[in-house]
Structure 1
Amino acid sequence: MASVNPATTGAPTFYELFAGAPVMAILRGMPVDKTVELTVRAWELGIRCVEVPVQDKEAGRVLAAVVAAGAERGMPVGAGTVTSAERLDRAVAAGAAFTVAPGLDPDVARASVAAGLPHLPGVATPTDVQAARALGLTWLKAFPASVLGVEWFRAMRGPFPEVPFVATGGMDAGNAAAYLAAGARVVAVGSALEDPAQLPLLAELLAH
Protein backbone atom coordinates (compact mmCIF):
# COMPACT_ATOMS: atom_id res chain seq x y z
CA MET A 1 0.00 0.00 0.00
CA ALA A 2 1.59 3.29 -1.05
CA SER A 3 2.02 5.80 1.73
CA VAL A 4 1.32 9.51 1.85
CA ASN A 5 3.86 11.93 3.23
CA PRO A 6 2.78 15.50 4.05
CA ALA A 7 6.42 16.52 4.41
CA THR A 8 6.95 16.09 0.69
CA THR A 9 4.16 18.53 -0.15
CA GLY A 10 5.15 21.37 2.16
CA ALA A 11 1.80 21.03 3.91
CA PRO A 12 1.44 22.04 7.56
CA THR A 13 1.23 19.11 9.94
CA PHE A 14 -1.54 18.51 12.45
CA TYR A 15 1.09 18.94 15.16
CA GLU A 16 1.41 22.53 13.97
CA LEU A 17 -2.30 23.01 13.40
CA PHE A 18 -3.26 21.76 16.87
CA ALA A 19 -0.32 23.32 18.72
CA GLY A 20 -1.41 24.65 22.09
CA ALA A 21 -5.14 24.02 21.64
CA PRO A 22 -6.76 20.66 22.48
CA VAL A 23 -10.07 21.69 20.89
CA MET A 24 -11.24 21.85 17.27
CA ALA A 25 -14.51 23.45 16.18
CA ILE A 26 -16.81 21.80 13.64
CA LEU A 27 -19.41 24.11 12.10
CA ARG A 28 -21.93 22.25 9.97
CA GLY A 29 -25.14 23.17 8.16
CA MET A 30 -25.44 26.84 9.08
CA PRO A 31 -25.75 29.96 6.90
CA VAL A 32 -22.61 31.87 6.01
CA ASP A 33 -23.09 34.71 8.50
CA LYS A 34 -23.81 32.38 11.43
CA THR A 35 -20.88 30.15 10.57
CA VAL A 36 -18.46 33.06 10.37
CA GLU A 37 -19.85 34.45 13.64
CA LEU A 38 -19.31 31.18 15.49
CA THR A 39 -15.89 30.73 13.90
CA VAL A 40 -14.79 34.13 15.19
CA ARG A 41 -16.16 33.15 18.61
CA ALA A 42 -14.07 29.98 18.49
CA TRP A 43 -10.93 31.93 17.58
CA GLU A 44 -11.59 34.40 20.40
CA LEU A 45 -11.80 31.47 22.82
CA GLY A 46 -8.40 30.26 21.64
CA ILE A 47 -9.56 27.46 19.32
CA ARG A 48 -7.22 27.70 16.35
CA CYS A 49 -8.55 24.83 14.22
CA VAL A 50 -11.96 25.13 12.60
CA GLU A 51 -13.56 22.58 10.26
CA VAL A 52 -16.44 23.32 7.89
CA PRO A 53 -17.92 20.22 6.20
CA VAL A 54 -18.28 20.40 2.41
CA GLN A 55 -21.06 17.90 1.76
CA ASP A 56 -22.67 20.09 -0.92
CA LYS A 57 -21.99 23.16 -3.06
CA GLU A 58 -23.55 25.58 -0.56
CA ALA A 59 -21.31 24.19 2.16
CA GLY A 60 -18.37 24.83 -0.14
CA ARG A 61 -19.38 28.49 -0.36
CA VAL A 62 -19.64 28.66 3.44
CA LEU A 63 -16.17 27.16 3.76
CA ALA A 64 -14.76 29.72 1.34
CA ALA A 65 -16.22 32.56 3.45
CA VAL A 66 -14.72 31.14 6.64
CA VAL A 67 -11.37 30.62 4.91
CA ALA A 68 -11.43 34.30 3.89
CA ALA A 69 -12.16 35.34 7.48
CA GLY A 70 -9.34 33.10 8.67
CA ALA A 71 -6.90 34.55 6.15
CA GLU A 72 -7.43 37.99 7.70
CA ARG A 73 -6.46 36.59 11.11
CA GLY A 74 -3.83 34.02 10.16
CA MET A 75 -6.10 31.15 11.20
CA PRO A 76 -6.25 27.80 9.33
CA VAL A 77 -9.63 26.43 8.26
CA GLY A 78 -10.21 22.85 7.18
CA ALA A 79 -12.81 21.01 5.14
CA GLY A 80 -14.81 18.20 6.70
CA THR A 81 -16.75 15.23 5.32
CA VAL A 82 -14.25 14.92 2.46
CA THR A 83 -15.24 11.48 1.20
CA SER A 84 -14.81 11.79 -2.56
CA ALA A 85 -12.73 13.43 -5.27
CA GLU A 86 -15.54 15.90 -5.89
CA ARG A 87 -15.57 17.02 -2.27
CA LEU A 88 -11.80 17.26 -2.22
CA ASP A 89 -11.95 19.52 -5.28
CA ARG A 90 -14.48 21.65 -3.40
CA ALA A 91 -12.14 21.88 -0.41
CA VAL A 92 -9.16 22.84 -2.56
CA ALA A 93 -11.19 25.46 -4.44
CA ALA A 94 -12.32 27.02 -1.16
CA GLY A 95 -8.75 27.27 0.12
CA ALA A 96 -8.93 24.71 2.92
CA ALA A 97 -5.79 24.09 4.99
CA PHE A 98 -6.59 20.43 5.77
CA THR A 99 -9.23 17.79 5.18
CA VAL A 100 -11.23 15.55 7.51
CA ALA A 101 -13.30 12.45 6.73
CA PRO A 102 -15.65 10.23 8.77
CA GLY A 103 -13.80 7.10 7.63
CA LEU A 104 -10.64 5.96 5.90
CA ASP A 105 -10.49 6.00 2.09
CA PRO A 106 -6.90 5.49 0.88
CA ASP A 107 -7.56 7.18 -2.46
CA VAL A 108 -9.03 10.29 -0.84
CA ALA A 109 -6.19 10.38 1.69
CA ARG A 110 -3.50 10.18 -0.99
CA ALA A 111 -5.22 12.76 -3.20
CA SER A 112 -5.65 15.19 -0.30
CA VAL A 113 -2.00 15.04 0.73
CA ALA A 114 -0.93 15.27 -2.91
CA ALA A 115 -2.97 18.49 -3.09
CA GLY A 116 -0.99 19.86 -0.14
CA LEU A 117 -3.64 19.24 2.52
CA PRO A 118 -2.96 17.01 5.53
CA HIS A 119 -5.77 14.48 5.95
CA LEU A 120 -7.52 13.41 9.17
CA PRO A 121 -9.44 10.15 8.57
CA GLY A 122 -12.02 8.63 10.87
CA VAL A 123 -11.18 5.36 12.62
CA ALA A 124 -13.09 3.12 15.02
CA THR A 125 -11.09 -0.12 15.24
CA PRO A 126 -7.47 -1.23 15.60
CA THR A 127 -7.63 -2.42 11.99
CA ASP A 128 -8.60 1.10 10.89
CA VAL A 129 -5.72 2.56 12.90
CA GLN A 130 -3.17 0.18 11.38
CA ALA A 131 -4.44 0.83 7.85
CA ALA A 132 -4.25 4.60 8.34
CA ARG A 133 -0.77 4.41 9.82
CA ALA A 134 0.37 2.18 6.96
CA LEU A 135 -0.66 5.01 4.63
CA GLY A 136 1.61 7.40 6.52
CA LEU A 137 -1.23 9.28 8.20
CA THR A 138 -0.19 10.53 11.63
CA TRP A 139 -3.20 12.06 13.38
CA LEU A 140 -6.46 10.08 13.38
CA LYS A 141 -10.05 10.98 14.15
CA ALA A 142 -11.83 8.62 16.56
CA PHE A 143 -15.43 8.61 15.34
CA PRO A 144 -18.05 8.51 16.73
CA ALA A 145 -16.23 9.19 19.99
CA SER A 146 -19.29 9.30 22.24
CA VAL A 147 -20.29 5.83 21.01
CA LEU A 148 -16.76 4.45 21.29
CA GLY A 149 -16.54 5.84 24.83
CA VAL A 150 -13.62 6.95 26.99
CA GLU A 151 -12.48 3.36 27.54
CA TRP A 152 -11.74 3.05 23.81
CA PHE A 153 -9.06 5.73 24.15
CA ARG A 154 -7.56 4.07 27.21
CA ALA A 155 -7.50 0.73 25.40
CA MET A 156 -5.77 2.24 22.37
CA ARG A 157 -2.93 3.59 24.50
CA GLY A 158 -1.54 0.06 24.80
CA PRO A 159 -1.00 -0.93 21.16
CA PHE A 160 -0.82 2.62 19.74
CA PRO A 161 0.85 4.90 22.31
CA GLU A 162 2.34 7.04 19.55
CA VAL A 163 -0.95 7.81 17.78
CA PRO A 164 -2.61 11.18 18.49
CA PHE A 165 -6.40 10.87 18.32
CA VAL A 166 -9.00 13.59 17.81
CA ALA A 167 -12.23 12.65 19.61
CA THR A 168 -15.14 13.58 17.34
CA GLY A 169 -18.88 13.01 17.65
CA GLY A 170 -20.96 13.90 20.70
CA MET A 171 -18.27 16.08 22.27
CA ASP A 172 -19.05 19.17 24.34
CA ALA A 173 -17.69 21.13 27.27
CA GLY A 174 -19.26 18.65 29.69
CA ASN A 175 -17.42 15.53 28.53
CA ALA A 176 -14.36 16.91 26.72
CA ALA A 177 -12.08 16.80 29.78
CA ALA A 178 -12.85 13.10 30.36
CA TYR A 179 -11.86 12.20 26.79
CA LEU A 180 -8.66 14.23 27.01
CA ALA A 181 -7.80 12.53 30.29
CA ALA A 182 -8.45 9.13 28.68
CA GLY A 183 -5.91 9.75 25.95
CA ALA A 184 -7.48 11.92 23.23
CA ARG A 185 -5.11 14.69 22.17
CA VAL A 186 -7.87 16.93 20.80
CA VAL A 187 -11.66 17.03 21.09
CA ALA A 188 -13.84 18.38 18.29
CA VAL A 189 -16.93 20.35 19.34
CA GLY A 190 -19.78 21.67 17.25
CA SER A 191 -23.09 22.82 18.73
CA ALA A 192 -21.34 23.63 22.04
CA LEU A 193 -20.20 26.88 20.44
CA GLU A 194 -23.83 27.96 20.06
CA ASP A 195 -24.53 27.50 23.78
CA PRO A 196 -23.44 30.54 25.85
CA ALA A 197 -23.41 28.37 28.98
CA GLN A 198 -20.70 26.17 27.50
CA LEU A 199 -18.39 28.92 26.32
CA PRO A 200 -16.75 29.65 29.70
CA LEU A 201 -16.29 25.89 30.23
CA LEU A 202 -14.53 25.58 26.88
CA ALA A 203 -12.38 28.58 27.73
CA GLU A 204 -11.41 26.92 31.01
CA LEU A 205 -10.53 23.73 29.17
CA LEU A 206 -8.30 25.66 26.77
CA ALA A 207 -6.58 27.42 29.65
CA HIS A 208 -5.12 24.17 31.01
Structure 2
Amino acid sequence: MNSFSDLLSGRPLVAILRGVPVARALEISTAVWDSGLGVVEVPIQTPEAVEVLRELASRGEPVGAGTVRTPEQVAVAAEAGAVFTVAPGLDLDVVRASHDAGLPHLPGVATASEVHHALRAGCEWLKAFPATSLGPGWLREMSGPFPEARFVATGGVGAHNARDYLAAGAGALGVGGAVTRAGGLAELLAVLRDG
Protein backbone atom coordinates (compact mmCIF):
# COMPACT_ATOMS: atom_id res chain seq x y z
CA MET A 1 0.00 0.00 0.00
CA ASN A 2 1.31 3.43 -0.93
CA SER A 3 1.07 6.02 1.81
CA PHE A 4 -0.14 9.59 1.45
CA SER A 5 3.38 10.65 2.41
CA ASP A 6 4.60 8.87 -0.74
CA LEU A 7 1.71 10.05 -2.92
CA LEU A 8 1.92 13.69 -1.81
CA SER A 9 5.70 14.01 -1.53
CA GLY A 10 6.41 17.19 -3.50
CA ARG A 11 2.78 17.28 -4.66
CA PRO A 12 0.82 19.86 -2.66
CA LEU A 13 -2.33 19.58 -4.80
CA VAL A 14 -5.20 17.12 -4.73
CA ALA A 15 -7.30 18.17 -7.75
CA ILE A 16 -10.93 17.18 -7.13
CA LEU A 17 -12.89 16.47 -10.33
CA ARG A 18 -16.52 16.34 -9.19
CA GLY A 19 -19.02 15.89 -12.02
CA VAL A 20 -16.43 16.50 -14.73
CA PRO A 21 -16.98 14.63 -18.03
CA VAL A 22 -14.24 12.24 -19.07
CA ALA A 23 -12.69 14.36 -21.85
CA ARG A 24 -12.38 17.42 -19.59
CA ALA A 25 -11.21 15.22 -16.70
CA LEU A 26 -8.41 13.85 -18.89
CA GLU A 27 -7.40 17.37 -19.90
CA ILE A 28 -7.25 18.63 -16.30
CA SER A 29 -5.61 15.47 -14.98
CA THR A 30 -2.90 15.55 -17.62
CA ALA A 31 -2.11 19.16 -16.71
CA VAL A 32 -1.96 18.26 -13.01
CA TRP A 33 0.24 15.21 -13.58
CA ASP A 34 2.51 17.01 -16.07
CA SER A 35 3.06 19.82 -13.55
CA GLY A 36 4.47 17.31 -11.06
CA LEU A 37 2.57 19.18 -8.36
CA GLY A 38 -0.44 17.00 -7.72
CA VAL A 39 -2.65 13.97 -7.76
CA VAL A 40 -6.27 13.66 -8.86
CA GLU A 41 -9.39 12.67 -6.94
CA VAL A 42 -12.70 11.72 -8.58
CA PRO A 43 -15.74 11.73 -6.27
CA ILE A 44 -17.62 8.53 -7.14
CA GLN A 45 -21.21 9.48 -6.41
CA THR A 46 -22.53 8.39 -9.82
CA PRO A 47 -21.89 5.52 -12.25
CA GLU A 48 -20.54 8.11 -14.73
CA ALA A 49 -17.99 9.28 -12.16
CA VAL A 50 -16.83 5.69 -11.60
CA GLU A 51 -16.19 5.44 -15.34
CA VAL A 52 -14.18 8.69 -15.22
CA LEU A 53 -12.15 7.22 -12.35
CA ARG A 54 -11.59 4.00 -14.31
CA GLU A 55 -10.43 5.92 -17.40
CA LEU A 56 -8.03 8.13 -15.43
CA ALA A 57 -6.67 5.17 -13.45
CA SER A 58 -5.84 3.41 -16.71
CA ARG A 59 -3.28 6.16 -17.41
CA GLY A 60 -0.99 4.88 -14.66
CA GLU A 61 -0.87 8.16 -12.71
CA PRO A 62 -2.01 8.70 -9.09
CA VAL A 63 -5.80 8.96 -8.96
CA GLY A 64 -8.10 8.31 -6.05
CA ALA A 65 -11.78 7.99 -5.29
CA GLY A 66 -13.52 10.71 -3.34
CA THR A 67 -16.75 11.00 -1.35
CA VAL A 68 -16.28 7.37 -0.28
CA ARG A 69 -18.79 6.96 2.53
CA THR A 70 -19.37 3.19 2.72
CA PRO A 71 -17.30 -0.01 2.62
CA GLU A 72 -19.20 -0.90 -0.57
CA GLN A 73 -17.88 2.26 -2.23
CA VAL A 74 -14.36 1.26 -1.18
CA ALA A 75 -14.80 -1.95 -3.16
CA VAL A 76 -16.04 0.01 -6.19
CA ALA A 77 -13.06 2.36 -5.90
CA ALA A 78 -10.56 -0.48 -5.69
CA GLU A 79 -12.10 -2.29 -8.65
CA ALA A 80 -11.95 0.91 -10.74
CA GLY A 81 -8.23 1.31 -10.05
CA ALA A 82 -8.11 3.99 -7.35
CA VAL A 83 -4.85 4.19 -5.39
CA PHE A 84 -6.43 6.04 -2.43
CA THR A 85 -9.82 6.93 -0.97
CA VAL A 86 -11.14 10.19 0.46
CA ALA A 87 -14.23 10.86 2.58
CA PRO A 88 -16.04 13.98 3.77
CA GLY A 89 -16.08 12.65 7.35
CA LEU A 90 -14.62 10.01 9.62
CA ASP A 91 -16.18 6.54 9.45
CA LEU A 92 -14.04 3.85 11.04
CA ASP A 93 -15.65 1.09 8.94
CA VAL A 94 -14.60 2.94 5.78
CA VAL A 95 -11.08 3.47 7.16
CA ARG A 96 -10.82 -0.26 7.88
CA ALA A 97 -12.23 -1.28 4.48
CA SER A 98 -9.82 1.04 2.68
CA HIS A 99 -6.80 -0.20 4.60
CA ASP A 100 -7.92 -3.83 4.08
CA ALA A 101 -8.07 -3.10 0.33
CA GLY A 102 -4.52 -1.70 0.44
CA LEU A 103 -5.67 1.88 -0.11
CA PRO A 104 -4.61 4.76 2.13
CA HIS A 105 -7.67 6.67 3.33
CA LEU A 106 -8.06 10.42 3.82
CA PRO A 107 -10.95 11.01 6.24
CA GLY A 108 -12.57 14.39 6.71
CA VAL A 109 -12.09 15.91 10.16
CA ALA A 110 -13.26 19.14 11.78
CA THR A 111 -12.77 18.55 15.52
CA ALA A 112 -9.99 17.51 17.86
CA SER A 113 -11.91 14.31 18.68
CA GLU A 114 -12.12 13.37 15.00
CA VAL A 115 -8.40 14.06 14.53
CA HIS A 116 -7.65 11.88 17.57
CA HIS A 117 -9.81 8.97 16.37
CA ALA A 118 -8.52 9.16 12.80
CA LEU A 119 -4.90 9.04 13.96
CA ARG A 120 -5.67 6.08 16.25
CA ALA A 121 -7.27 4.31 13.27
CA GLY A 122 -4.00 4.55 11.35
CA CYS A 123 -4.65 7.60 9.18
CA GLU A 124 -1.59 9.84 9.10
CA TRP A 125 -3.02 12.37 6.64
CA LEU A 126 -6.41 13.98 7.34
CA LYS A 127 -8.74 16.13 5.28
CA ALA A 128 -9.45 19.41 7.10
CA PHE A 129 -12.99 19.95 5.85
CA PRO A 130 -14.57 22.38 5.24
CA ALA A 131 -11.35 24.40 5.25
CA THR A 132 -12.89 27.83 4.75
CA SER A 133 -15.18 27.32 7.73
CA LEU A 134 -12.32 26.02 9.88
CA GLY A 135 -9.80 28.61 8.69
CA PRO A 136 -6.00 28.48 8.61
CA GLY A 137 -5.85 29.08 12.37
CA TRP A 138 -7.50 25.70 12.97
CA LEU A 139 -4.55 23.95 11.32
CA ARG A 140 -2.07 25.80 13.52
CA GLU A 141 -4.09 25.01 16.64
CA MET A 142 -4.37 21.29 15.83
CA SER A 143 -0.60 21.00 15.36
CA GLY A 144 -0.08 21.60 19.10
CA PRO A 145 -1.80 18.49 20.47
CA PHE A 146 -1.38 16.48 17.23
CA PRO A 147 2.07 17.28 15.81
CA GLU A 148 2.12 14.02 13.85
CA ALA A 149 -1.05 14.85 11.88
CA ARG A 150 -0.67 15.97 8.27
CA PHE A 151 -3.57 17.89 6.78
CA VAL A 152 -5.04 18.37 3.32
CA ALA A 153 -7.05 21.62 3.55
CA THR A 154 -10.17 21.09 1.45
CA GLY A 155 -13.26 23.16 0.73
CA GLY A 156 -13.17 26.68 -0.66
CA VAL A 157 -9.45 26.64 -1.32
CA GLY A 158 -8.02 28.27 -4.46
CA ALA A 159 -5.26 30.54 -5.71
CA HIS A 160 -6.61 33.39 -3.55
CA ASN A 161 -5.98 31.63 -0.22
CA ALA A 162 -3.66 28.69 -0.97
CA ARG A 163 -0.62 30.37 0.60
CA ASP A 164 -2.55 31.01 3.83
CA TYR A 165 -3.31 27.32 4.33
CA LEU A 166 0.18 26.19 3.38
CA ALA A 167 1.71 28.76 5.76
CA ALA A 168 -0.59 27.48 8.53
CA GLY A 169 0.78 23.97 8.12
CA ALA A 170 -1.32 22.25 5.45
CA GLY A 171 0.74 19.56 3.75
CA ALA A 172 -1.49 19.75 0.68
CA LEU A 173 -4.62 21.41 -0.65
CA GLY A 174 -7.76 19.68 -1.90
CA VAL A 175 -9.17 21.91 -4.64
CA GLY A 176 -12.30 21.33 -6.70
CA GLY A 177 -14.10 24.28 -8.26
CA ALA A 178 -10.97 26.36 -8.66
CA VAL A 179 -9.25 23.70 -10.80
CA THR A 180 -12.24 22.98 -13.01
CA ARG A 181 -13.14 26.55 -13.98
CA ALA A 182 -11.40 28.13 -16.98
CA GLY A 183 -7.94 29.38 -16.02
CA GLY A 184 -8.28 28.28 -12.40
CA LEU A 185 -5.79 25.43 -12.53
CA ALA A 186 -3.10 27.59 -14.15
CA GLU A 187 -3.55 30.27 -11.47
CA LEU A 188 -3.29 27.72 -8.67
CA LEU A 189 -0.27 25.96 -10.18
CA ALA A 190 1.49 29.34 -10.49
CA VAL A 191 0.92 29.97 -6.77
CA LEU A 192 2.17 26.49 -5.85
CA ARG A 193 5.27 26.86 -8.03
CA ASP A 194 6.11 30.18 -6.34
CA GLY A 195 5.79 28.55 -2.94
State the TM-score, normalized to the length of structure 1.
0.89
1:17-166 correspondence to structure 2 within 5 Å: 17-69=7-59, 71=60, 75-166=61-152
Give the Å deviation of 1:197: 5.4
Separation of aligned partners in 1, 2:147 and 2:184? 34
Separation of aligned partners in 2, 1:131 and 1:118? 16
Percent of residue pairs bearing the same amino acid type: 52
Partner in structure 1 of residue 178 of structure 2: 192
Separation of aligned partners in 2, 1:157 and 1:85? 30
Matched residue count: 194
Give the Å deviation of 1:45: 2.5
Partner in structure 2 of residue 203 of structure 1: 190
Partner secondary structure for residue 160 of structure 2: coil
Partner in structure 2 of residue 7 of structure 1: none
Instruction: Select which of 153, 157, 163 maps to 1:167.
Output: 153
- Greater displacement, 27-36 / 192-201: 192-201
| Matched-pair contact (CA < 8 Å) for 1:24–1:49 | yes
Give the Å deviation of 1:198: 5.2
Counterpart amino acid of residue 150 in structure 1: P
Q: Residues 140, 201 of structure 1: CA spacing in aligned structure 2 closer, same or farther, 3 A cutoff?
A: closer
Give the Å deviation of 1:207: 4.6
Q: Can you give the 5+ residue segments of structure 2 that lack an aligned partner in the other structure?
A: none
Counterpart amino acid of residue 80 in structure 2: A
Instruction: Select which of 12, 15, 26 maps to 2:5.
Output: 15
Counterpart amino acid of residue 193 in structure 2: L
Give the Å deviation of 1:90: 1.4
Give the Å deviation of 1:86: 2.3
| Matched-pair contact (CA < 8 Å) for 1:46–1:206 | no
Higher relative contact order (CA 8 A, sep 6+): 1
Structure 1, residues 27-61: CA drift from partner, whole Å, max 9, x if none?
A: 11011111111111212232331100111211111
Give the Å deviation of 1:24: 1.3
Q: Residues 45, 131 of structure 1: CA spacing in aligned structure 2 closer, same or farther, 3 A cutoff?
A: same
Separation of aligned partners in 2, 1:121 and 1:115? 16
What value does the CA root-mean-square deviation take over the aligned residues?
1.4
Partner secondary structure for residue 42 of structure 1: helix
Partner secondary structure for residue 58 of structure 2: helix
Separation of aligned partners in 1, 2:188 and 2:24? 21
Give the Å deviation of 1:119: 0.5
